[in-house]
Amino acid sequence: MTTAPRQFPDGFLWGASTAAHQIEGSNINTDWWVREHTPGSGVAEPSGDAADSFHRYPEDIALLAAAGLNAYRFSIEWARIEPEEGLVSRAMLQHYRRMIQTTIDAGLEPVVTIHHFTSPRWFAESGGWHGRDAVDRFARYVETVLPILRDVRRIVTINEPNILSMMHGKHEGDLAAIGLPAPDDAVSEALVAAHRRSREILTQLPGAATGWAIAGQAYHAEPGCEAEMLAFRHPREDLFLEAARGDDFVGVQAYLRTFIGKDGAVPVREGVETTLTGWEYFPPALGIAARHAWDLTGGAPVLVTENGIATADDARRIDYTHDALLGLHDAMADGVDVQGYLHWSALDNYEWGSYKPTFGLIGWDAETFERTPKPSAAWLGGIARSGLLTHPDPAHIPYTDPQ
Ligand code: BGC
């Protein structure tokens, strides 16, 4: 790592990300809502009202703008827009259009995700991503939302198709566990096809850059296990990055690292600092994932669409994010074209089965929904304003690998 002050370029996007199901509340027409209320599904608690952002989005957007950020990534909900197959809700299209407009009016660039893990229940009931018509159905949804996306400059087609493919197989309940089932090859194939079709459809919006957002980990091979690591990583990550070749950008989302041994993923070692999701505290994951995405896509511009930490200690959130940004800046200094950094997450939210892992720059009261921005929100907003990476504690020592 170099020691010079880290200046990020003008025009860099600095923002925060959310997903509809994790913050809106009462998202009852999704497959996830069904899962949350199916006995034995392994989900610890249901999403319920979430952060009530379905109603409170103007306040959330205003808080991000007031902090100093210049971008907001959020998703639109297919299950609200098309609650029954072929039945399009004009009111919901207008709702999401208002959300886009509110973001623009607040001086933030909207980065809109078309699909973030949740699908309508009717879609799931008729085969989900295994269904023969899955890609056509998704393409029809993309056609439906074209008009509301007319002035959105960056669109993410599908969030983490690699994790979605794993969720779609034999789901074991808690996404916080790294031991997700292996991806389902048929689902992966359908998602690649859906992404390609969506990008084609979205060319009808001149000026819209389109890509998808891939969950990237820092994979490390145990000694002598390089081949096993590559074989493990390919269906879980590389396949999706390869499919992003030629896209306008690739969304990089990175949080952690995983060691791969002879028998696959190795559990986090004893004594290592972990976060509320049980993941190893490992800020370099972001720089490593950005470089890997750049290499595998053959130079697609990188947009960090997610990076963050589940912690109750906001000072540790700042440490993690600061050190992740150091690694990202190093990657940029080495030639990786990075367009922006969107922190996960704007708000504490429903972490796919539990409210315990708090990722937010903004907290909220479970009874009143009153928002409280954390010091990390003001800190990240300050960096967005100046473009200069600083840490509030001048004595902060950046992360070094204890391994
Ligand atoms: C997802 C988010 C999730 C976050 C933290 C990503 O897997 O896109 O929905 O909350 O990482 O687990």
> Is any atom of ligand 1 closer than 6 Å to the C-beta of 240?
no
Provide the pLDDT confidence category of residue 17 given band limits of 50, 70 and 90: very high
Using a 6 Å cutoff on CB, does residue 348 contact ligand 1?
Answer: no
Going by alpha carbons, the residue nearest to atom 3 of ligand 1 is 351
Q: Which atom of ligand 1 is nearest to the CA of 359?
A: 5
User: What separation in Å is there between the alpha carbon of 180 and the centre of ligand 1?
Assistant: 13
List CB contacts of 399: < 8 A, sequence separation 6 or more.
281, 282, 283, 284, 319, 323
Q: Is 190 in the pocket of ligand 1 (CB under 6 A)?
A: no
Name the band, by pLDDT with cuts 50, 70 and 90, for residue 169: low
pLDDT band at residue 3 using 50, 70 and 90 as cut-offs: low
Q: Tell me, what's the pLDDT at 172?
A: 43
d(CA 47, CA 44): 10
The per-residue pLDDT for 173 is: 43
Residue 81, pLDDT score: 99
Q: Is 159 in the pocket of ligand 1 (CB under 6 A)?
A: yes
The closest-lying atom of ligand 1 relative to the alpha carbon of residue 213 is 8
> pLDDT for 195-224, tens place per residue?
999 999 999 999 999 999 999 999 999 999
Percent of the chain whose predicted confidence (pLDDT) is above 90? 94
| Pocket test residue of 167, 306, 342, 349 for ligand 1, highest count of atoms within 8 A of CB | 306
Q: Which CATH number fits domain 6-389: 2.70.98.60, 3.40.50.300, 3.20.20.120, 3.20.20.80?
A: 3.20.20.80
Asked whether 380 lines ligand 1 (CB < 6 A), one says no
Q: How far is the CA of 395 from the centre of ligand 1 (A)?
A: 31
For 286, counting Cβ atoms within 10 Å of its Cβ (0-12 exposed, 13-18 middle, 19+ buried), the class is: buried
Q: What are 139's two structure tokens?
A: 């393409």
Does ligand 1 lie within 6 Å of residue 244's CB atom? no
- Rounded to the nearest integer, the mean pLDDT of the chain is 96
Question: Do the bridges between strand 338-344 and strand 302-306 make them parallel or antiparallel, or are there none, so unpaired?
Answer: parallel
Confidence of residue 4 (pLDDT cuts 50, 70, 90): confident
Q: Hey, whose CA ends up nearest to atom 1 of ligand 1?
A: 160
pLDDT digits (tens, 9 = 90+) for 313-345: 999 999 999 999 999 999 999 999 999 999 999
- Is the predicted pLDDT of residue 402 greater than 90, yes or no? no
Residue 170 has pLDDT above 60, yes or no: no
Cβ 293 under 6 angstroms from ligand 1: no
Residue 180's pLDDT is what? 82
Specify the pLDDT at position 5.
83
CA of 144 to the centre of ligand 1 (A): 26
What is the reported pLDDT for 49?
A: 98
How far does residue 3's CA lie from ligand 1's centre (Å)? Answer: 31
Q: Note the pTM of the prediction, 2 decimals.
A: 0.97
SS (H, E, C) the chain: CCCCCEECCCCCEEEEECCHHHHCCCCCCEHHHHHHCCCCCCCCCCCCCCCCHHHHHHHHHHHHHHHCCCEEEEECCHHHHCCECCECCHHHHHHHHHHHHHHHHCCCEEEEEEECCCCEHHHHHCCHHHCCCHHHHHHHHHHHHHHHHCCCCEEEEEECHHHHHHHHCCCCCCCCCCCCCCCCHHHHHHHHHHHHHHHHHHCCCCCCEEEEEEECCEEEECCCCHHHHHHHHHHHHHHHHHCCCCCCCEEEECCCEEEEECCEEECCCCCCCECCCCCECCCCHHHHHHHHHHHHCCCCCEEEEECCCCCCCHHHHHHHHHHHHHHHHHHHHCCCCEEEEEEECCECCCCCCCCCCCCCCEEECCCCCCEEECHHHHHHHHHHHHCEECCCCCCCCCCCCCC
Q: Is 160 in the pocket of ligand 1 (CB under 6 A)?
A: yes
Residue range 26-37, pLDDT digits in tens: 999 999 999 999
Residue-wise pLDDT for 52-91, tens only, equals 999 999 999 999 999 999 999 999 999 999 999 999 999 9
Contacts 24+ apart (CB under 8 A), 364-372: 364/51, 369/49, 369/51, 369/52, 369/56, 371/56, 371/59, 371/60, 371/63, 371/347
Nearest Cα residue to atom 5 of ligand 1:
351
Alpha carbons 329 and 344: distance in angstroms, whole number: 18
User: Cα of 381 to ligand 1 centre, how many Å?
Assistant: 22
pLDDT tens for 364-378 read 999 999 999 999 999
Q: Are 6 and 388 contacting, i.e. CB atoms less than 8 angstroms apart?
A: yes
pLDDT digits (tens, 9 = 90+) for 379-388: 999 999 999 9
pLDDT in tens, 151-166: 999 999 999 999 999 9
User: Is residue 176 over pLDDT 80?
Assistant: no
pLDDT(109) > 90: yes
Ligand 1 center from residue 303 Cα (angstroms): 16
List pLDDT tens digits, range 254-270: 999 999 999 999 999 99
CB count in 10 Å sphere of residue 263 = 9
CB of 192 within 6 A of ligand 1: the answer is no
Confidence label for 168 from pLDDT (cuts 50, 70 and 90): confident
Torsion region of 20: left, alpha or beta (phi above 0 gives left; psi -120 to 50 gives alpha): alpha
Answer with the residue of higher pLDDT: 262 or 4. 262
